[in-house]
Amino acid sequence: MNLVELAKLFKGNALTDEEFASYLADIEIFEVIESTDELEDTVYFNGDKNSFFEVRMLVYGAGMEVERGRTYVDFVKKVRQVKNKLS
């Protein structure tokens, strides 16, 4: 299970809160690596599908269109809430 797969299940209301927390406990979320100078690029993902960037692009789409149901923002809030409880 990776963050993208978890987001797809979350978007489809396919998980209970307990299942969501259980899966999330095993996922290490990729942290953005900020550029320190002009010659480096900021790194938003590493290809393991465990970044919020990949969730936004692959599950919720790159556009800012209005969505019905569970949105990207709802997913991020849920992840942060559960991660805070786990730590």
pLDDT digits (tens, 9 = 90+) for 22-68: 999 999 999 999 888 877 788 999 999 999 999 999 998 866 555 66
**pLDDT band for position 70 (50/70/90)?**
confident
- State residue 35's pLDDT score: 85
Nearest CA to 5 out of 71, 65, 68, 50 is that of 50
With beta carbons less than 8 A apart as the criterion, state whether 10 and 78 touch.
Answer: yes
- State residue 65's pLDDT score: 58
